[in-house]
Amino acid sequence: MSRRIKISEEDLIQLLLAREAKGIEILYDNYSAALYGVIHRIIQNDEIAEDVLQETFLKIWNNFGQYDSVKGRLFSWMINIARNGAIDKIRSKEFSSQQKNQDIEKTVFSGSDVLNTVYNPDTIGLRQMVQKLDQEYRQIIELLFFGGYSQSAAADKLNIPLGTVKTRSRAALQKLRTYFGKEESR
Residue 28 is part of a domain; what is its CATH number? 1.10.1740.10
Identify the domain containing residue 163 by its residue range: 106-185
What pLDDT sits at residue 54?
94
The reported pLDDT for the residue numbered 1 is 46
Residues 18 and 50 in one domain: yes
Q: How many domains does the chain have?
A: 2
* Rounded-to-integer distance, Cα 185 and Cα 182, Å: 5
Asked if 150 and 79 sit in the same domain, the reply is: no
The pLDDT, as a whole number, for residue 56 is 94
The stretches in the chain having pLDDT less than 50 are: 1, 107-123
**Closest among 42, 167, 157 to 175, alpha carbons compared:** 167
20-61 tens-digit pLDDT: 889 889 989 888 898 998 899 888 888 999 999 999 999 999
52 and 125 share one domain: no
- Return the sign of the alpha-carbon dihedral for residues 159, 168, 134, 127: positive
Residue 112 sits in the same domain as residue 179: yes
Same domain? For 65 and 115 the reply is: no
Q: Which residues contact 19 (CB under 8 A, 6 or more apart)?
A: 64
Threshold 0.85, pTM exceeds: no
